[in-house]
Amino acid sequence: MRESIGTAIATPNIAMVKYWGRVKNEYNMPLNSSLGITLDFSLKTKTSVVFSHKLDRDRVIIDGKDRIAGQNNEKIANLIFVMNKLKKESGIDRGTHGLVVSQNSFPSDAGLSASSSGGAAFVLAANDALNLALSRKQLSILARHISGSACRSVYGGIVGWKRTPADGTEESYGEEVFAWDWWPELRDIVVILEEKKKKVPSSMGHDITPKTSSLYKCRPEYAEQSFEAALEAIRRRDFDRLGMVIMRESNSMHATMLDSMPPIFYLNDRSLEIIQASEELNEGSGHIKSAYSFDAGPNPHLFTTQRYRNEVLRMLDGIDGVRMIIEVGVGSGPQMSEEHLIDDNFRPVLQHSKP
């Protein structure tokens, strides 16, 4: 086989309508539909992949560290699973192994959806390295096996991911519903409060909450209603309506987490302070200017528009504990690169300035 290196750069897809809870652990089959924005390249993951019989084992290196599949690292196990599927698809013999080198431009364990950009970048890079020419739909299905939200990150713009069909089919994948330039005024102001690894990985939370939370019984249908409401708001470019959906969606998901047993806490005191500050900003104007949203971590995404961005940034000036603010727009989707993180001798080459 040809020993070519494939390299892709992908960005996180941040959910406005949240995915939380799955039917089948190994396939990340969602119990509810979700809707997210693929961000621009202000936040990104660069991943290089090569397959060779000269390698003595499969190896995954993320941000300079070897990652081992195990009980507390489900996504790496999922990545190896997808790697083996791709090997089989391309007819690679058993003596051929893969090397994956990935680097994030942002904290990877702080609820900023690094797994969405990482999963998408991997399948695109591996597809290129193996010359498989898989469709975007096929890549979305494979990315979903690694991390559910990764199935949205293989597309640009605003991406929907429908819940698992009643017949249990495994054809679950993301689809672009609005192009990246449909609403160019949209902004996501990412606020970094903590960079440490979260205590409960989201892969565990997806299983704990549906099994133990009494509130979760109402969650899937509420998310379906939110999905349709968000689509209509985006179609009309109505940020007041969209912002309300975003905030209630975040609150709904975290309420079921808190109701889990044992309870799952992702937000901290600073997170709650930003929620309160956003509420005060919105109430004082009669419009939604800062629509807060939290994934599985304490760091808020403050959705807003270009019109209100300055007010949101001024709001953050009065909050202690803000380590970093990153303003991000809607992105056009992943891209391929000829600048690899693997050299010709199959050694990792991490960039000093993160991609």
Span 76-85, pLDDT tens digits = 999 999 999 9
Q: Would you put residue 131 in left (φ > 0), alpha (ψ -120 to 50) or beta?
A: left
Contact 125, 47 (CB under 8 A): yes
Split at pLDDT 50, 70, 90, the class of 106 is: confident
Considering Cα of 15, then 83, then 110, then 45, what sign does the dihedral take?
negative
- Which pLDDT value is given to residue 73? 77
CATH number assigned to the domain with residue range 6-336, chosen from the 4 options 1.20.1250.30, 3.90.1150.10, 3.30.230.10, 3.40.50.720: 3.30.230.10
Split at pLDDT 50, 70, 90, the class of 330 is: very high
pLDDT above 60 for 194: yes
- Which pLDDT value is given to residue 110? 61
Residue 27: exposure state from Cβ atoms within 10 A (0-12, 13-18, ≥19): middle
Q: How far is CA 95 from CA 61, 69, 80, 164, 343, in A?
A: 20, 20, 15, 36, 21
Which residue did the predictor score with more confidence, 353 or 44?
44
Residue 146 neighbours by CB distance under 10 Å: 27
Residue carrying the six token digits 């449909």 = 182
Which residue did the predictor score with more confidence, 197 or 8?
8
Identify the helix (H) or strand (E) that includes residue 216: none
- Which pLDDT value is given to residue 354? 64
pLDDT above 80 for 170: no
Across 81-106, average pLDDT: 91
Q: In what order do the strands lie in the sheet with 335-336?
A: 65-66, 59-62, 97-104, 45-52, 6-10, 335-336
Cα separation of 9 and 117, whole Å? Answer: 8
Across 162-184, average pLDDT: 87
